[in-house]
Amino acid sequence: MLLSQGSIKGKHGAIYPLSQNLINRKRKGLFRKTACSIPASAAPYTHATIRSSHPNASKRTKSSSVFYRPHRIWPPRRSAAAAAATMGPEMEAMAASIGVSVPVLRFLLCFAATIPTGLLWRAVPGATGRHLYAGLTGAALSYLSFGATSNLLFVAPMALGYLAMLLCRRRAGLITFLGAFGFLIACHVYYMSGDAWKEGGIDATGALMVLTLKVISCAINYSDGILKEEGLRESQKKYRLTKLPSLIEYFGYCLCWGSHFAGPVYEMKDYLDWTERKGIWASSTPSPLLPTLRAIVQAGICMGLYLYLSPKFPLSRFSEPLYYEWGFWHRLFYQYMSGFTARWKYYFIWSISEAAIIISGLGFTGWSASSPPKAKWDRSKNVDVLGVELAGSAVQLPLVWNVQVSTWLRYYVYERLIQKGKKPGFLQLLGTQTVSAIWHGLYPGYIIFFVQSALMINGSRVIYRWQQAVSNSVLRSILAFLNFAYTLLVLNYSCIGFQVLSFKETLASYQSVYYVGTIVPIVCLLLGNVFKPARKPKAQKAE
């Protein structure tokens, strides 16, 4: 029979997920996130749907995946009606006033509570007390936001990582990487039911994604601790662990409220120094008040822009006949504005995380070399808004977007795929982007987006090499502008797949602009093999 989620169940009870893509989707918005939904991201934080004014918003479900599982048995999920019944009328009215479900409002309140929680952390006495405070407050906020079963979900990767370090130090990193990622993939599969989306539900998969990166980096660094320093990369020398963290230290690191919901990811060694007040935290740190206020103001501006723009550029437009009646340039402009609009909700959530990390003191990274020296708070910075919107090259994007996850991918995937004595190439970049896609979730749109981003970055490198090779300042300026325009075009074209997620809608949106964002990078790569710029002497090479 035909199931309500869009999969087909045979007479023997077997589920055939691949057949979903063959079903005729007649309802508008089916397998699509609304323009006001809050999806999982590079820094994903919730699987909740915000209600929109679209007439079919209540019918929308999460995008189709080839690993889709339509029914859940455990953990049980309360219906939206049951959840609402336990909430006071005040919360229901508040949720209705901002256009979200009650579970989503509860999540947002808990997320905002990480800021005062970070402030109170500064007054907790003793390293052990601070470890316990970090872990217990993170678990409590998770319970209030996602329910009791969320913390049970976190136990599996945490236990796997610690047991691997305890029993098999040399292979702990590999075991934890495969096991934690395998568990995350299983949870991505398990929580893909469209029922939760239609009911405005929410789950803890986004927090689990952040936790997965933490336990993997901790295990890998503990494995690196038995290696000789000769031949290690700088990042390995900096973060390697020579001693097994205690259970209390590990518990506090994994569930610390500061990064539990949406990141940023940070290293165990930094966490230990911060908690035990060693290293740069050994002496008094500068006041975090002004940078915290700046992050909060930035969060408010970003959310305001998102709420203003999202009704004007809804994702539902990509499946409406009106969009395909527009001309090429109109459709291309709409793709740009759609991507531009969606990014502001990520800017908002990362700004809140930044404020929570800064006010606790963990965000402090030392002093600048300027005169007089200024305090730096880079550990908490996950995005540079102007850096993304005005990026002169696609190569710069990983340095300014979801910064800490990009750094994690560079340290623990990209650099470790490079064979000794060989230079990194497209395969290492593609492998890294594939891991990133799987980490985000098993949606065709994610896979397509990250393959596209690998093409985008390599095409931008070609333009940059041409730019560096010419000596004429006018021609160099023209090539710099072309690289900027190239990045603007391909980024906003590619990110449509990240938003709509389904295979059919992603290809339809790309086809509507004649695959320009795919063809241009490929042409750049081909031209780069034909017109190779002259190599400069090593002393003059730019990084």
Active site residues: 440
CB–CB of 499/315 below 8 Å?
yes
CB atoms within 10 A of CB 95: 22
**Which residues have CB under 8 Å from 492's CB, separation 6+?**
335, 336, 338, 339, 340
Three-class DSSP category at 425? coil
Can you give 222-266 as a three-state secondary structure string? Answer: HHHCCCCCCCCCHHHHHHCCCCCCCHHHHHHHHHCHHHHCCCCCC
Q: How far is residue 317 from each of residues 47, 255, 508, measured CA to CA in Å?
A: 22, 39, 12
What is the dihedral sign for C-alpha 111, 37, 338, 311?
Answer: negative
The verdict on whether omega for the bond into residue 264 sits within 30 degrees of 0, i.e. cis, is yes
**Which residues have CB under 8 Å from 274's CB, separation 6+?**
281, 361, 362
DSSP 322-363: HHHHS-HHHHHHHHHHHHHHHHHHHHHHHHHHHHHHHHHTTT
**Which residues have CB under 8 Å from 244's CB, separation 6+?**
165, 166, 222
For residue 315, the one-letter residue type is: L
